[in-house]
Structure 1
Amino acid sequence: MARTLEQERAAIEEEGRKLQERRQRLEEKEREAAIQAVEKTGLLKLDGKRLGGLVARIRTLGIEEVEKRLKA
């Protein structure tokens, strides 16, 4: 534990910075995992226009509605 209030404040700020960096690394790993999942489905092999249309339709309907329709 720090001896002074100023040292304690500095230690807390350092811990916060480290935590933020850790969160950022986790987000990067999650993004990479999502890209890998999409890549495995073959969607990245579609031509740009077709993939763009599909993504636009998903945006229009919303993720929940697309999932619901795909389950049906």
Structure 2
Amino acid sequence: MANTVEQERAAIEADEKKLSDRRRKLVEREQSERQRAIGKSVLMKLDQDRLETMLARMKDLGVDEVEKRLQQAS
């Protein structure tokens, strides 16, 4: 435990920085895992034009609507 208020404040700030760094690394890891999953998906089999068209359509519809339509199709 810190001896003074200033030391305690410095210790808390150091802990907050460590936690912030861990959160940033977790976000980076999650993004990397999403990119890896997309890379393994059927979308990577499309040629560039079809992929861009598909992604633009998905953007227009929104994720919820795309999921809804895919569920209805299956």
Give the structure-1-normalised TM-score: 0.88
Match of 1:60 in 2: 60
SS at 2:44 equivalent: helix
Q: Which amino acid aligns with 1:70?
A: L
Unaligned runs of 5+ in 1: none
Give the 5 Å matches for 1:1-72: 1-72=1-72
| Number of equivalent positions | 72
RMSD over aligned Cα atoms = 1.2
User: So what's the TM-score if we normalise by structure 2?
Assistant: 0.86
Identical-residue share of aligned pairs (%): 50
Runs of 4+ in 1 over 4 A off after TM superposition: none
- What CA distance in whole angstroms lies between the structure 2 residues aligned with 1:38 and 1:14? 36
